[in-house]
Amino acid sequence: MEHLFDQEWEIIPAGGATGEAFFAQYQEQKLFLKRNSSPFLAVLSAEGIVPKLVWTKRLENGDVITAQHWLKGRELKPHDMNSERVAKLLKKIHSSRPLLTMLERLGKEKFQPEHMLTDLETGLDFDLVSLPIVKDALRFLQGNITNMQHSDYVVCHGDVNHNNWLLSDYNQLYLIDWDGAMIADPAIDIGLLLYWYIPEEEWSNWFDIYGLPMTDSFKLRMKWYVVAQTVLSIQWHKGKARFHEMNHWIEYLHKVL
């Protein structure tokens, strides 16, 4: 990575699970670098959903390095997630034809809830499956799988946690970390956002801002994905021996069901 820049540039790892992200700084110039980002990043940048893409370079070994503006700002706090601009940016993403076209060109298949259910039925540890609340969750998911049919497939982020929303110092809102992007039911993104951050008595107002009727069908699909994602989180944390977090999501499952 260092050979892309003059010696005066300071390059430091940006952390993250993949180890493929870096910060580069020289005097007042700051860039966020990533190795082998998806071509999807260019469309996200053009749509104003992520910080501006400055350049893309292909190395001799075939790796592709992308550089984006490194913006001063902050992650959103949980209480920020009920803002009108969050709902409107999510609507912009879900309505974007360029984003959808690019994911289709990249060969992304439509995400189907049946696949998610199969992963749960076959991938859960036996001691988790034996928990009454997990049994209840699986029964709910299996009993409602026929109600998950819909025709509105859009680009979904897949992890709308408040930590993935960046508010720059010049008051521009971005949604970052698109490694889990999918073509799916918008109820995936909306369900997680509403269940995690918005009091239920305010859901109707949120749907008005987003521009979608709050139907019983949509609410059921939201709950289905939240339950499924919660069970997956329980399994993931157990696999990492993060038992405190595992128990947190077990308790959360009680609240959702």
Task: Verify that 120 and 84 share a domain, yes or no.
Answer: yes
Instruction: Retrieve residue 48's tokens.
Output: 């104003």
The CATH number of the domain holding residue 9 is 3.30.200.20
Residue 233's nearest CA partner among 249, 247, 221, 253 is 249
pLDDT for the residue 65: 86
Q: Assess whether 159 carries a catalytic annotation.
A: yes
Task: Verify that 163 and 62 share a domain, yes or no.
Answer: no
Q: One of 159, 169, 179, 189 is an active-site residue; which one?
A: 159
Instruction: Retrieve residue 145's tokens.
Output: 């799988």
Task: Verify that 162 and 51 share a domain, yes or no.
Answer: no
Task: Verify that 215 and 104 share a domain, yes or no.
Answer: yes
Residue 1's nearest CA partner among 71, 50, 66, 45 is 66
Task: Verify that 43 and 103 share a domain, yes or no.
Answer: no
pLDDT for the residue 5: 56
The CATH number of the domain holding residue 166 is 3.90.1200.10
Block mean pLDDT (10 aa), the chain, length 257: 60 68 80 84 95 86 85 94 98 98 96 95 95 98 96 96 95 94 98 98 98 97 98 97 97 97
Task: Verify that 157 and 64 share a domain, yes or no.
Answer: no
Residue 152's nearest CA partner among 180, 194, 110, 108 is 110
Task: Verify that 151 and 177 share a domain, yes or no.
Answer: yes
Task: Verify that 138 and 214 share a domain, yes or no.
Answer: yes
pLDDT for the residue 16: 57
Task: Verify that 58 and 125 share a domain, yes or no.
Answer: no
Number of domains in the chain: 2
Task: Verify that 96 and 179 share a domain, yes or no.
Answer: yes
Task: Verify that 95 and 140 share a domain, yes or no.
Answer: yes
Rounded distance between C-alpha atoms, residue 222 and residue 152, angstroms: 14
- Domain of residue 105 covers 75-256
